[in-house]
Structure 1
């Protein structure tokens, strides 16, 4: 599980600097997600630091950043409102246990089965979600606590600083790659704001607005270990387990899809099962140290990768840096303009969105285009897990529908026997076309189905063969099967005396005649 990578000077510098950049970007995200979940800002910040630290060490994808996320926050808000933070911490621990079990039973490999159109929809939808989330930073609250859009000089200053940030991120790499462009942009815009005394919202303003507390701060102490203060009985378990299961599923889906995206970007391959274990371990620890739980963050991961952070040290630096900000440097972080972080995230949106997918709509099947659009829309209006499930189900149904049409037969006579040469897969979707291929009343006494070019795939196929055999039996005729593969033959043993393997032509299948007679 643990490995000691070798660092070159360049990779060491890139990981350290990109990790610091990510740590800066994590602060407002963690605070915002804590607000969504209905918990205090430190609960989100502790979760970001702890989860980021443990997944950097034990996770399956170097360079991927994990922390408190909105997808998990929207699941737990109801639990917090109804039962309080202690139930949340218990659910986070249970969530981690479920994720560890998913890794132990090697369920992470199934993420490779997600179709490419679903991946494109996931990435595009998430990019839009990140973009829409940033628009909230262009709102302020008046004295009555009502939010409204910025206007006048405040808006123009905000827009100018966002544009300056984006310009630095875009053009600086063309001049030098000595430091990450995102980090340079944040530092430069902060200095411009400070020395020119520009009146714009800072991280401190953001925190105080989110919490409604004019004295709020990100400063805090070390998180302390504590066992969730809940009653250990069946009623508590019934409350906690459903939330924990959903949180675990949402967290793993987002983490493993983010892992796949980074794999494609870096042309490397992460280890999905190890990532499940790493995410689970991180959430178990987080629950015992007062964190809200979380998973991989595609926005921060994109910042890290594009800033040059490819190793585990980048994630460790981000986690340790965030904790140092909480403990020692809160005043410095609180003076960073929100506009600088918004500009960085806007560049993440541009880099994350698969613009090439817009050119694919006239070149790929319409069903794939529909899946891309649908997954993007569902991601925006619900959550990532639901969007992925919807996309996978639609792709599976389309696949089944198309392959149901691929079954056909050619017939010929061998003496007095009629041979049906079957071609194509026999499964739940092709059962009805299969049954319509046979003319029971006109066929001779003995009918043979040749499966040399076909395959029996599931229980629905077996039942279809049983149904067909019964039809021939009622007509005082016999149905025989031949050229079955080994796995097909095992499935078809359930058909009993209604089916028969031609052992003369299939000597490889040593099946006792008594078993089929």
Structure 2
């Protein structure tokens, strides 16, 4: 990854300025994702406020930014289209409760099972998705008769409009790259947004040019407080009806998917920020923080949210390392909505697109392009599969799940052939099999083929000192082998089995030869860091 995110010290000023930069970048993202989900932009903006604020306070990763995301918008589309927007908010509340339970059960540690090849595919795929999401800014928004934006898939910009857009994007990116070489007093992304906005507001009209702004896409974003919007939206629908058994039956499948997608994207982003900042976040605490945030945002008419890799990288790149930046970003965004929306509406989309393009450049793992001839083909298959699913299905949770499954199957296939045995006879004429390699479901056939009960002597010893039984399939293979030797009237002895295996072996338990001085002791890692 390009070194845009190197470790740097941060003070309160850096945290606040970084929060301001992130807040500006959150506005168009939240608006766009809400429109994609088929709901009013305010639902996305309120989600960015409440989720961002609460996860910054209670989450497990200082410096990580959360808000409304495209991954959740994809799921929300189906719920809103089939059942209506009024079912979205109880679904978000239930999503949050599920995430809290996941955190309390300490299941966040399972993010450790994600292989590096999956992480590479996730990061590269997400960089491509972020890039593609910015392309809608090069189109004219489609509006209905009332002037409300109904789609971001209008005609492509052409002529002077396209030239101005490209020029402002290029200027934004140039400022972000060059300003740190002159001064580090101001976050480069914030300086770029302010400079390009001033140029678009005062300079372009004098030259007879115009450009797309946040207001041209979102319309007027000013509104009342979130609870007022919630009351207007639901009207006469009572809380009892919102949380009835009938409603629960409708929203449960969607809430489970939303919770899974949100946690996977958040924990993957947490791991990425950990690597960039050389620090350690708390996965289970982040699950609880995300859950509390989504429970609250559902009550305040938000669309739900999770970690946002683009804004998180902007925050880290601006020097933020503490919780103050996320809190500042959420409070700035709320102030924009309530008091400063006219100014926010004047920000040119080109400035925000330029910032996100720099995020894309910093997010994409360019070194992976040189790895194609240096890593196993299986790792390349996993990485490419995750990228393809992420880009074309826009489902990060599914992409990660498929990647992990493929990686696990490849691992099992490779290690299924690693089981072998050395054999020799002791001074009493017993044949000793010294096993090497793992015994689990994929290697049980190889395990059975190692032995010859018909031709072996009366006493046979299997030594597990250099191996380990990993699952029930391995235990059943041992039981079956014991029965095979028993049928031909021969004795099978097992040595150096772990205590867990000895306890689980039932039919072969009396065959275990216990050697406490040599039997291995296995320990389970604690959740101390979770």
Task: Please give the TM-score of this superposition, normalised by the length of structure 2.
Answer: 0.89
In the alignment, structure 1 residue 458 sits paired with structure 2 residue 471: yes
2:480 aligns with: 467
User: Aligned equivalents of 2:401 and 2:439: distance in 1?
Assistant: 25
Asked if 2 retains the 8 angstrom alpha-carbon contact of 1:89 and 1:228, the reply is no
Matches within 5 A, 1:37-436: 37-141=37-141, 147-196=154-203, 197=205, 198-207=209-218, 216-224=219-227, 228=239, 230-382=241-393, 383-414=395-426, 415-436=428-449
Report the CA distance between 1:480 and its aligned residue: 2.0
User: Aligned equivalents of 2:320 and 2:224: distance in 1?
Assistant: 28
Asked if 2 retains the 8 angstrom alpha-carbon contact of 1:67 and 1:296, the reply is yes
Report the CA distance between 1:251 and its aligned residue: 0.3
Structure 2: gaps of 5 or more residues: 1-7, 145-150, 232-237, 520-530
User: Aligned equivalents of 2:313 and 2:474: distance in 1?
Assistant: 46
Asked if 1 retains the 8 angstrom alpha-carbon contact of 2:131 and 2:360, the reply is yes
2:31 aligns with: 31
Aligned Cα RMSD in Å?
2.0
Task: Please give the TM-score of this superposition, normalised by the length of structure 1.
Answer: 0.91
What SS does the aligned partner of 1:244 have? Answer: helix
User: Aligned equivalents of 1:490 and 1:424: distance in 2?
Assistant: 21
Report the CA distance between 1:240 and its aligned residue: 1.2
User: Aligned equivalents of 1:402 and 1:440: distance in 2?
Assistant: 27
The one-character-per-residue Cα deviations of 1:477-512 (angstroms, maximum 9, x if unpaired) are 2322122222221222x2346x50224x55778xxx
What SS does the aligned partner of 1:495 have? Answer: coil
Q: 1:308 to 1:231 in 2, by over 3 A?
A: closer
Asked if 2 retains the 8 angstrom alpha-carbon contact of 1:86 and 1:229, the reply is no
Count how many residue pairs are aligned between Structure 1 and Structure 2: 491
Which has the larger displacement, 122-131 or 423-432?
A: 423-432
Report the CA distance between 1:459 and its aligned residue: 0.6
User: Aligned equivalents of 1:386 and 1:32: distance in 2?
Assistant: 22
Report the CA distance between 1:29 and its aligned residue: 0.6
User: Aligned equivalents of 2:243 and 2:105: distance in 1?
Assistant: 27
User: Aligned equivalents of 2:183 and 2:239: distance in 1?
Assistant: 49
The one-character-per-residue Cα deviations of 1:332-351 (angstroms, maximum 9, x if unpaired) are 01011111110110000000
Q: 1:232 to 1:155 in 2, by over 3 A?
A: closer
User: Aligned equivalents of 1:269 and 1:417: distance in 2?
Assistant: 53
Runs of 4+ in 1 over 4 A off after TM superposition: 141-146, 225-229, 505-509
Asked if 2 retains the 8 angstrom alpha-carbon contact of 1:462 and 1:491, the reply is yes
User: Aligned equivalents of 2:242 and 2:108: distance in 1?
Assistant: 33
Structure 1: gaps of 5 or more residues: 1-7, 208-215, 510-517
Report the CA distance between 1:200 and its aligned residue: 0.6
What SS does the aligned partner of 1:484 have? Answer: coil
Report the CA distance between 1:425 and its aligned residue: 1.3
Asked if 2 retains the 8 angstrom alpha-carbon contact of 1:87 and 1:228, the reply is no
The one-character-per-residue Cα deviations of 1:198-242 (angstroms, maximum 9, x if unpaired) are 3111111112xxxxxxxx311111111767573544332211111
2:459 aligns with: 446
Which has the larger displacement, 145-154 or 190-199?
A: 145-154
Asked if 1 retains the 8 angstrom alpha-carbon contact of 2:496 and 2:518, the reply is no
Asked if 2 retains the 8 angstrom alpha-carbon contact of 1:30 and 1:45, the reply is yes
Which has the larger displacement, 270-279 or 220-229?
A: 220-229
Asked if 2 retains the 8 angstrom alpha-carbon contact of 1:418 and 1:448, the reply is yes
Q: 1:17 to 1:231 in 2, by over 3 A?
A: closer
1:480 aligns with: 493
User: Aligned equivalents of 1:10 and 1:451: distance in 2?
Assistant: 53
User: Aligned equivalents of 2:492 and 2:142: distance in 1?
Assistant: 81
Asked if 1 retains the 8 angstrom alpha-carbon contact of 2:482 and 2:508, the reply is no
Q: 1:234 to 1:221 in 2, by over 3 A?
A: closer
What SS does the aligned partner of 1:64 have? Answer: coil
User: Aligned equivalents of 1:441 and 1:203: distance in 2?
Assistant: 80
User: Aligned equivalents of 1:422 and 1:332: distance in 2?
Assistant: 72
Asked if 1 retains the 8 angstrom alpha-carbon contact of 2:10 and 2:320, the reply is no
1:213 aligns with: none
User: Aligned equivalents of 1:142 and 1:60: distance in 2?
Assistant: 40
User: Aligned equivalents of 1:142 and 1:388: distance in 2?
Assistant: 34
2:235 aligns with: none
1:3 aligns with: none
What SS does the aligned partner of 2:241 have? Answer: coil
Q: 1:220 to 1:143 in 2, by over 3 A?
A: closer
Report the CA distance between 1:143 and its aligned residue: 8.8
Report the CA distance between 1:121 and its aligned residue: 0.8
User: Aligned equivalents of 2:124 and 2:143: distance in 1?
Assistant: 37
